[in-house]
Amino acid sequence: MTNQRQKRQSNPLGGIIGIAIFAIIIFVLFKMVSGIFTLLSWLAPILFILALIYNRQVVFDYGKMLARNLKNDLPRGLVYSVLSFLGFPLVSAFLFFKAFATHKAKKIVKQKEEDFDDYEEIEDEDFLDLPELEITKETRSQKGNDADTDSTYDDLFK
C-alpha cells in the first residue's frame, strides 16, 4: 500500500488577485467618502445657517464648549478648534442635525401640552355636600351576632 499524495498546484496569481480586489474596494470606499465630504463642504454654510435658524442655542453651546476648552485646557482646546476648522463640513452637519432634532422635539412637546384639556381649580373645600353616615353601636353589634355572616366581606353586600 502506497500512500499517494496529490500535489496541489498553487496558482501564483491567487494572492495577487486577492490583493488587487482589496485595493479596489479600498479605492471605491475612499472615493465614496471623499465624494460625501465634498458634497458636505458645499452644503456646510447652508447647514450652518439652518442650524442657527432652527435652534441657535446649539451653535452657541458648541462655541462655548470650544472657548471653555481653550480656557481650561489649552492643548485640548487648540486641538478641538483646529479639528473643528478642518472638519467644518462635518461639524456643520452635526450642528444642523442636533438643532433640527431639538427643534422637532420641542415642537412635539408643545403639541402634547396643547392636547391636554384646560382645567379649573375649585377653591371651595365643601363643594360637595354629602350627609354624614352615622353608624351606631346597635348596628355594629347586630352584625357581630349574625350566625349567617362568615366574614366582613359578606357584610359589604348587606
pLDDT at 57 over 70: yes
pLDDT on residue 78? 93
pLDDT on residue 90? 93
- What's the whole-number mean pLDDT along residues 119-128? 68
Q: Where are the domains of the chain?
A: 24-115
The answer to whether the CB of 55 falls within 8 A of the CB of 101 is no
- Take residue 123 and report the three cell numbers written for it: 377653591
Q: Ranked by mean pLDDT, which of 8-17, 52-61, 104-113 comes out on top?
A: 52-61
- Tell me what the pLDDT averaged over the chain comes to: 82
Higher pLDDT, 133 or 69: 69
